[in-house]
Each structure stands twice: as C-alpha cells, then as structure tokens.
Amino acid sequence: MSLKDSLVKVSEYVYQLPEETLQGQKVPVYFYLSQKLLELLEEEAIKQAGNAGTLPGVEKAIYVMPDVHVGYGFPVGGVMATDPEEGIISPGSIGYDINCGVRLIATNLTVERVQPIRRELMQEILRKVPAGVGSTGKLKLSKDELSQVALKGARWAVERGFGFEEDLLHIESGGALPNADPSKVSDFAFERGSDELGTVGSGNHFVEIQYVDEVYDEEVAKSIGLKLGQVTLMVHSGSRGFGHQVCVDYLKTAKDALKKYSIEIPDMQLACMPFKSPEGQDYFKAMNSAANYAFANRQILGFLTADAVRSFLNLSWEEFGYRLIYDLAHNIGKLEEHRVDGKRKKLLVHRKGATRAFPPKNLDVPPLYRDVGQPVLIPGDVGRYSFLLVGKEGSMDMSFGSACHGAGRLMSRTKAKEYVKKEGLEKVLRDLVVVARGKGTVAEEIPQAYKDVSEVAKVVDALGIAGLVARFKPLGTLKG
C-alpha cells in the first residue's frame, strides 16, 4: 500500500498521516492540500515528513504546507518543532539556503506608466542588479567586515546607504537575529560570501516588477498602503554561498554527532544533533549569522532595484514613493513560544520553505501591522501571480504560526529544460518579459515548472492560516 493511501481526510484541505504509520513516528503529520494539490503530492514527500516525526524531541505534529515538494531529508513546505531542552536541531530540516526570503516594496508608480516601458526597465535592472550562478556584487568584504554583516543584518546595509532607517521596522525580527556568532562560521563560508552581498543568485530567486491587479480585503490593503494598479517590487533571495556553506559544514558535524549522542534516524539526510549540545549550539549561532547575511543581502538588493527604476524614470525618492512593506524569512529555525497540550512552551521551530504567519496582537508582529496580522508573501512564477496575505489566529494552532513560501515546483529543472527544448522558449514565454544572464536559468524557471500559486494561496486562506489581501501580476522578471 502506498503512503498516499494511508492519508486520512480529516476535513476539507486537511489530510493526516497518523502517528506510527512509519516505524518510530511519534507524532501525526498534517498535509494542507486541495484535491488538485493532493493529486500532485509525491510519495517521497510523505515519507520525508513521516520520517521527521521520528526525531528526538519532536512536538505535537509535523505540518506540511500546500506548496510541498521533495527536499533534502525534509520536504520543502515542512514545519517541525522540537523541544529545545530534550530535542534536536536538524540542518537539513532548515535547508541549504538559510533565510531565503521575500521582500515587497511599494511605489507611487502606476501600471499605466510602467507597462509601455517594461522591457527597457527590466534591461536597466539587469544592468544594475547582479544575478546568476556565481554572481558577484560591487562589495568586496574582508572577514572582519562580513562578521559585522553576520551580527547586524539589514542594519549593516542601511548604515552604508542601502535603504532607510524605517525599513528596519518592516523586516521580520528587525532584520537581525540575536543569537548570531560569526566565530562559528567556517573560513570557507566567509570566502564564498565575500563578494556576493547584493546579488540575486540563481534558481528560483528573482527580482520582479509587479502591479496590484486584485484586492480581496479593501480595509487591510488600505491600512498597508496598497491599491489597484499600483506598481510594486518583489525580491526573492537568500544567504547565497555563505549560508549554503554553513549548511554543508554542519551537516557533516551532524552526521558525526549521531554516533556520539546515540541518535538513530531513518534517513541520513535528517542528520541532527541535540540542540543543547556544543554542536547544536554552534550550528544555531552559525545559522543565525547566515540569516543575518541574507537580511542584509535583500536589503541591498531591494534598494538597488528601487534605485535602478527611480533613476531610469528620473524621479526623486519622494516622487518614486519607496516604502518597504515587509521582508520575511523561510528556511530558518527559531525559538518561539507555542501552545502544546493547552500549555505555553518554548519550541525550536524549523521552517523549510515555510514562513511565519503570526496573527494580530502578536508582539513579534511589527507595530504597524499588529492590528491586522503579519504580512505573508507568497510569490508565484514569472507568468502568473504573487499574493499578499496577513496572518490569522488559526495559524498558531494549525502550523506553529506558519504559512507556505511559494507555489512549489511541479517539474524538475531537467524536465523544464526538456519541455522548453521541445516547445521553444518564445512559445513558452509568449509575451512575458523575463531577463537573465543566461537562457539556461529562464528555461528552468518557466511558468509550467510550478504549481498554480492561486491554488496554494486558496488553501491557506480557506483554513484560516492567513487571509488574502491582494494579488500582484508580473510586469517583468529578472532571473538569476
């Protein structure tokens, strides 16, 4: 019998893999899916989520978001919480691209003004914003300078003129996590990160010009400062080679720690160490350092993109209307308080391809949004839509305050390239404006390679995890 046959439908959009379905599985797994998305659910993703339920100190349940697909050890879209006293920390369950995340910037521009010049505008962004495999920026930093980035996060960038002080009020955790310690990061990670700040990278990362083409909640949209036809900028990037190397280094550490701490796991990709152990603490401090690097990276990227558009249109910053709406993290582990069995408890929440969706009144939500809930950004593909939602109370009980981070891949990169080779890139992209350093990345990132993000957002909204506010349609996209 397949694992999909073992799923129990609890209610519309909720499917449970009961505890003990897999040997040693201590907690149930909940998948949040529509019927259409259930049909796309991979057998291996179910197994990965169930395997995570066997890890020491895992609490309450594993939650899997509607954009789920197979990842390294733990599925992308997976949320797992462990007891920080008795449980583990798992690098593979946080991910290689630590604090990959999304940033949304509002402008005073209208779609009527930008639509006719979108091709020229994207070429200008391509010239001004470094992107692609191995892309490097104008900043070349020493280890000492990078250590400051790892401690200060987005503030480091603002202090050097990349953005404004008020930006820091609109970033998750203020753009800097407190438990960073650059001394726990390897020299090779510093070497890899030395010239990559302010770069997009490759894969599914992007910089996009969009406009608001649908508003679902007029009141919340107005309070956030968005209206129909308004042009926005979206940035999706992470910690580049710096964070990737942190994950590589500590996966080796975790594998060595298994024997030392007598931890048995069903899959070596779930290698982990006790959170309280020296190895676990070292990784946590290094992971936070990489997360802060990513916050600084997106701060610079967002500012460079906005400045490229503003300069091209010969506008002052005031005329341009730059305003950061929000910047949030996925691929991260955070110490948070949640309710388990009716009691408040500190947990280490692993979010892999998942992001916070904290509700109104939560003190971790910036004051500007505390009455409406934390902004949740769900980017789509280059041809369809992206969404803004706000966190709802249901998220705290249903997913440790988490929502999904994107559409989720449907085709592997290899299959996407084969599809393009068969159909032809021009036919596949139609009139979409997509710019990149090389055609290979564009072929991997075609709309057909992704699930329909509107289906994903619909599930999150229907379950009361986060409520739909607005939809954005791409005008042009820069891919790595």
Instruction: Write out the catalytic residue numbers.
Output: 405
What residues contact residue 306 under an 8 Å CB cut-off, 6+ apart? 105, 107, 233, 320, 322
Q: Check residue 4 and report its DSSP letter.
A: H
The strand ranges marked E within 40-168 are: 62-69, 76-82, 88-89, 100-110
Contact status, residue 35 vs residue 11, Cβ threshold 8 Å: no
Counting every residue, how long is the chain?
A: 480
Strand partners, 378: 387
The span from the CA of 266 to the CA of 397, in Å, is 28
The span from the CA of 288 to the CA of 150, in Å, is 8
The CA distances from residue 406 to 352, 376, 455, 457, in Å, are: 12, 10, 11, 9
Helical ranges in 313-366 per DSSP H: 317-320
Contact status, residue 389 vs residue 466, Cβ threshold 8 Å: yes
The span from the CA of 214 to the CA of 25, in Å, is 43
How many CB atoms within 10 Å of residue 194?
A: 18
The span from the CA of 265 to the CA of 253, in Å, is 15
Q: Which residue in 103, 98, 100, 142 sits closest to 301, CA to CA?
A: 103
Contact status, residue 354 vs residue 405, Cβ threshold 8 Å: yes
424: left (phi over 0), alpha (psi -120 to 50) or beta: left
Task: Take residue 189 and report the two structure tokens written for it.
Answer: 């990670």
